[in-house]
Amino acid sequence: MATAPKDFRFGNFVGSLIRLVLWILVIITLVGLPLIFIILFYVPLPPVKGEVLTPYLFFSMMVDPSRTIPIINFLIHTDFFRVAVFPGFTYAALLAAATIFIERKFLAKMQLRIGPLYAGKIEGILQLIADGLKLISKEIIVPSGADKLIFWTAPVAFVVTSAAVVALIPAAPGWVVADLDVGIIAVFAFLGFFPLIALLFSWASNSKYPFIGGLRALHQMIAFEIPFILSALSVVILAGSLNLTDIANAQHPYWFVFFLPISAFVFYISSLAELERIPFDLPEAESEIVAGWLTETSGMIYGLIQLGTYVKLYALAALFVILFLGGWSGPQIFPDEIIPGYTGDKIYNATTVNAIFWFTLKTLGMIMLILLPRGINPRIRIDILLHTGWYKLIVLAFINIFVALSLVYGGLMGPGGLLSG
Report the predicted TM-score, pTM, of the whole model to 2 decimal places: 0.82
Question: pLDDT band for position 317 (50/70/90)?
Answer: very high
Average pLDDT for 244-262: 89
User: Cα–Cα distance between 241 and 415 in angstroms, integer?
Assistant: 10
Q: Which of 395, 396, 418, 398 is closest to 407 using CA atoms? A: 418
Stretch (H or E) spanning 148: helix 148-167
Q: What is the pLDDT of residue 2?
A: 47
Domain range annotation of the chain: 143-409
Compute the C-alpha angle 194/131/374, nearest 5°: 55
User: Cα–Cα distance between 68 and 58 in angstroms, integer?
Assistant: 8
Q: Mean pLDDT for the chain?
A: 81
pLDDT in tens, 18-54: 887 888 888 877 877 777 767 666 666 666 666 666 6
Residues forming a β-bridge with 295: none
User: Cα–Cα distance between 199 and 222 in angstroms, integer?
Assistant: 13
pLDDT in tens, 155-186: 888 988 998 999 999 988 888 888 888 889 99
DSSP annotation of 48: B
Q: Is 321 exposed, middle or buried (0-12, 13-18, 19+ CB in 10 A)?
A: buried
Report CA 200 to chain centroid distance, whole Å: 24
SS3 label, residue 87: coil
Percent of the chain, pLDDT > 90? 12
User: Cα–Cα distance between 301 and 66 in angstroms, integer?
Assistant: 47
